Amino acid sequence: MHRFLEAFFSPHAFRQVFPDVWNGFQTNIRMMVVAELLVLAFALAIAVVRGLPGRGAWPLRALAVVYTDTFRGTPLILVALMIGLGIPGLGIKGVSDRSNFVYGVAALTLVYTAYVTEVYRAGIESVHGSQRMAARSLGLSYAQALRYVVLPQAVRRVIPPLLNDFVGLQKDTAIISVAGVTEATIQATNFSSSYFNFTGFVVAGVLFIFLTIPLARFTDHLIRERELRERAQAV
The residues that touch other proteins, with contacts defined as CB under 8 A, are 130-131, 133-141, 144, 148-149, 152-153, 156, 233
Cα distance between residue 108 and residue 31, in whole Å: 8
State in angstroms the smallest separation of the CB of 14 from other proteins.
49
State in angstroms the smallest separation of the CB of 26 from other proteins.
37
What dihedral do alpha carbons 1, 204, 119, 143 form, nearest 10°? 170
Look at residues 158, 205, 211, 221 and name the one whose alpha carbon lies nearest to residue 21: 205
State in angstroms the smallest separation of the CB of 101 from other proteins.
38
- In the complex with other proteins, the residue whose CB is nearer, 70 or 126, is 126
- In the complex with other proteins, the residue whose CB is nearer, 94 or 139, is 139
- In the complex with other proteins, the residue whose CB is nearer, 23 or 141, is 141
- In the complex with other proteins, the residue whose CB is nearer, 129 or 214, is 129
The residues, ordered by sequence, that sit 6+ positions from 198 with a Cβ below 8 Å of its Cβ are 7, 8, 188, 192
State in angstroms the smallest separation of the CB of 145 from other proteins.
10
What does each C-alpha distance from 101 to 11, 34, 80 come to in angstroms? Answer: 31, 10, 11
